[in-house]
Amino acid sequence: MLSEEAILKDLSLPAMPHVAARILQMVNNPNVRVEELQEAMISDQAITSKILMIANSAYFGLRRTIDTLSDAIFVLGFEAVKKIAVAVSTKEIYNFHGIIEQKLWEHAIGASIAAGLIASRQRAYEISAEECIVAGLLHDIGKAVMNQSQPERYAMVVETVYGEHQPFYRAELDLFGFTHQEVGALLFKKWKLPEELALVTGNHHRRHEIVKMPAVHALCTVIELANLICSRLGVGYRGPMPDAPENGNGEGSVDPLRDESVMEALGIGLEDLEEIVGEFKERYIAEKLSFID
């Protein structure tokens, strides 16, 4: 197994964003009041927007509009709010200096949206939409860290992905000796985030190897299909990547959206998939703007 020292020799892991750290501290305090948590979140428009967006989404099936943070916290719960705050606040790690950073962030947004839609239609696992939304947004954080620490070297990874149609993790392994999975897992260990998030981040391209961890396996399966949808549509890429080898075993398929293995694992049929993709296209345009502002 790759040692932490091997990664830290090449990369600098960023500190947890200030707002996320403050919110984590508050939600872990049993005496914190909702008003205090609300005040902390209001200071970050992106976090506020996403929490309200998720609370009002069709995933939760509410019959009334949630228009205040206090109501959203009540609907979602402290644990969900904590995860959403961490996920959204990671935006600053992407450092929007160029097209690579922009595309990495767009893919994170796309995977988050797709994962939430998949969660609402999958029939195989007992997982919440909120868990999938957060996992989708965070699963590739290791790419942003690698790019932040070694931008010229990571640009070579990106060119390999496009030029040779390799998956990111294979190009990273060739050029760095490790992948964004190991980097993301190490980062979340440093941040002391829930172990499940670190495990999903560290294993989302190898779901077949973690069947003995049902909750993690379920989230990784959702992320795999979300990744396939994004690559097929070109979300986070220069353009559509219909033959992008993004599934867990590293082998491509002619039409990733019809990958029967992952669809069957989730209990999703072709009609479900068409509905997911149609709704995804609409949501991505609207939610992308709220994240990037």
pLDDT score of 8: 87
Q: How far apart are CA 232 and CA 213, in angstroms?
A: 28
Q: State the sign of the Cα–Cα–Cα–Cα dihedral 159, 182, 106, 59.
A: positive
pLDDT beneath 70: ranges in the chain: 1-2, 58-63, 96, 242-259, 289-293
pLDDT score of 66: 82
pTM: 0.85
pLDDT score of 256: 45
pLDDT score of 103: 93
pLDDT score of 1: 53
Helix 195-203 and helix 180-191: axis angle, to 10°? 170
pLDDT score of 254: 41
Q: How far apart are CA 282 and CA 293, in angstroms?
A: 18
Which structural domains are found in the chain, ordered by start?
Answer: 95-292 (1.10.3210.10)
